[in-house]
Structure 1
Amino acid sequence: MSEIPHIPVLYREVVDAFAGIEEGVIVDCTMGYGGHSSMLLEANEKITLIGIDQDQTAIDFSSKRLAPFGDRAKIKKGRFSDVIKTIIAEEGSENIRGILADIGVSSLQLDQKERGFSYESETLDMRMDSGAALSAAEVVNGYSQKELERILRDYGEIRNAAQIASAIIKHRPFYSAKELSDVVKPYGPRGKKIHPATLVMQAIRIEVNDELGELSRLLDAIEEADLPHARIGIISFHSLEDRMVKQRFSKWSKSCICPPEAMRCTCGNNHAKGRIVTRKPLTAQADELKENARSRSAKLRIFETGA
């Protein structure tokens, strides 16, 4: 479909992950432009899909794209960590058969220069929800050097975070992502496939949108819901996100929760919520990597509750 502006990553792996679900509800926590949602509706003809997004532009687009599926497709606006709780309460935990989350900024958001995600953007925004209070401009121009060092180190995993934070302080105020990119570019990694400013822009974007906090709260909501038979698929693009998902899935798979120093099990040894389906994350196949360079960082982990 040439009019679709976004190629969903790991599209085959996602369809396979939720194959065979014959009834109930699949929740697409990061609906975006409806790529994964439409594929799941086509592949699972009797399920209802509820998509969540905080970007009104994406909602407007996906409302039209998913219209042919009629009542089988529903859309809710908001942060997925909040909306997922409402959906589970309304639909009933026993009817939730799948939850998908593609943790990352969409291709169209990256390509729309007015959104401030692009290195060439004349704005400095990076908000996934354009109505949110915190923007990249507030972070870059308002944070202290110590706060900037923290987000660059923790979210960008940048070794020379102090040096880059100092350069940002020296050259601010910034009015565009392009200005910021030009200043931090000399301090970025060389000889790699990524743009030298990638990690800095990524760290600021994660801070602006509280992406790690959102993922943690989503996993908390799923854990608290105690879903009896659902498949959970999380796509991450960052090592911190992937680590968080891996650790949480490992926790959910453990039957014994006694402390390591315990001489014998006293917890009942019946605490496993299900099983890990993917011991190693699924990654893009060669043809997808060729067609969509943004898929190179994508990792899909799958967990099945009640298994």
Structure 2
Amino acid sequence: MYRSSRMGEPGPPAPAGHVPVLLDRVAELLAPPLARPGAVLVDATLGLAGHSAALLTAHPQAVLVGLDRDQQALRISAERLAGFAGRTHLVHAVYDQLPRVLAELDLDRIDAALFDLGVSSMQLDRPERGFSYAQDAPLDMRMDAEDPLTAEEVVNSYPVPQLARVLRDYGEERFALRIAQAIGRRRAEHRLTSTAELAELVRQAIPAATRRTGGHPAKRTFQALRIEVNAELAAVQAAIPAALQALTVGGRIVVLAYHSLEDRIVKRSFAELATDRTPPDLPVALAAAGPQIRLLNRGAEPATEAEIAANPRAASVRMRAAERIREAA
């Protein structure tokens, strides 16, 4: 489903409290390719369009392809971007569908790509979406309300070993089996439907000494369920290579990840194209085997203390950026 910005003045500002993570640094990194006439920017995780609005304002000739699986976010971002008439294509899609979206828009190459991974500010701030353990709500956690799988279905229908695997693999939860077993006992009594009940159940399942450190005891469980419900890691694994493949020479990609599972996928995808593939027994490097991209930062770049003070949600961000330096052989 496509939504284009409407004619008129720039749309409303983002909802109060929404501060795009690392906005200035993202703008700095993407500025060179976006300065080209008719540059194409892909915001693969449009959200409330904070990054995109700033980039479209700074680069009046740039065109935006904005993707989001959350139709509520698309409606808000369409209003916000209404003033950029004729320069936006807003698409209801998961970012691993990028090749299809570009093909439907007759775009062979893009100049810049931005991924701001994970749950959005809007999803966290709206209790009824069920992403937060801080407020009681239905166990939903779907980024796209049309998707069939909910967190309620996961916690009530997955066998205990499978549920433990989800919590361990996607939440990196040390006490995954204990939590899964506690859920199994509770759902034998009644169906789990409440975020508050689940959060308290997790708290009770974790040893008392552990509860006193590391933030809310349910944090990892809720992360794991969200990733499972939305198949997030599989989407990242497909989307990052696709975006790199679509970049024109001189084009750049910036990825903001918020936990090690996402960042590990991004790191591997970048390393695959940043490595010289010349056979080690050859005396000189082969141009056709050389790196296709160059990394724009060393390792994963964190937010500065000033950024975190202004926007606490930046505390866990890991940013990686790269530039395409040659076409694939």
Identical residues among aligned pairs (%): 37
Residue type at the aligned position of 1:203: A
Query: Does the CA contact (< 8 Å) of 1:121 and 1:176 recur in 2?
Result: yes
Q: What is the CA–CA distance in structure 2 between the aligned matches of 1:2 and 1:51, rounded to whole Å?
A: 16
Q: Which residue of 1 aligns with 2:242?
A: 221
Q: Which residue of 2 aligns with 1:177?
A: 195
- The verdict on how the C-alpha distance between 1:177 and 1:108 changes in structure 2, with shifts beyond 3 A counting, is same
Q: Which residue of 2 aligns with 1:25?
A: 40
Query: Does the CA contact (< 8 Å) of 1:93 and 1:228 recur in 2?
Result: no
2:317 corresponds to 1:302:
no
What secondary structure, in the 3-state scheme, does the structure 2 residue paired with 1:228 have?
strand
2:93 corresponds to 1:78:
yes
Residue type at the aligned position of 2:79: K
TM-score (norm 2): 0.86
What secondary structure, in the 3-state scheme, does the structure 2 residue paired with 1:168 have?
helix
- The verdict on how the C-alpha distance between 1:225 and 1:19 changes in structure 2, with shifts beyond 3 A counting, is closer
2:223 corresponds to 1:205:
no
Unaligned runs of 5+ in 2: 1-12
Aligned pair partner of 1:38 in 29, 53, 59: 53
- The verdict on how the C-alpha distance between 1:165 and 1:97 changes in structure 2, with shifts beyond 3 A counting, is same
- Higher deviation after alignment, 85-94 or 20-29: 85-94
Q: Which residue of 2 aligns with 1:235?
A: 256
Q: Deviations over 1:190-226 (max 9, x none)?
A: 3435211100100010000011001011023235546
Q: Which residue of 2 aligns with 1:47?
A: 62
- The verdict on how the C-alpha distance between 1:224 and 1:98 changes in structure 2, with shifts beyond 3 A counting, is closer
TM-score (norm 1): 0.92
Query: Does the CA contact (< 8 Å) of 1:76 and 1:83 recur in 2?
Result: no
Q: Which residue of 1 aligns with 2:268?
A: 247
Displacement after TM superposition at 1:38 (Å): 0.4
Q: Which residue of 2 aligns with 1:7?
A: 19
- The verdict on how the C-alpha distance between 1:99 and 1:203 changes in structure 2, with shifts beyond 3 A counting, is same
Q: What is the CA–CA distance in structure 2 between the aligned matches of 1:5 and 1:171, rounded to whole Å?
A: 37
2:94 corresponds to 1:117:
no
Unaligned runs of 5+ in 1: none
Q: Which residue of 1 aligns with 2:304?
A: 285
Residue type at the aligned position of 1:97: D
Query: Does the CA contact (< 8 Å) of 2:98 and 2:242 recur in 1?
Result: no
Aligned pair partner of 1:65 in 80, 88, 97: 80
Q: Deviations over 1:91-149 (max 9, x none)?
A: 4334x100101111111111111101111232000000011011101111010111111
Displacement after TM superposition at 1:229 (Å): 3.3
Residue type at the aligned position of 1:38: A
Matched residue pairs, number?
303
Displacement after TM superposition at 1:254 (Å): 1.2
Q: What is the CA–CA distance in structure 2 between the aligned matches of 1:124 and 1:278, rounded to whole Å?
A: 39
- Higher deviation after alignment, 41-50 or 230-239: 41-50
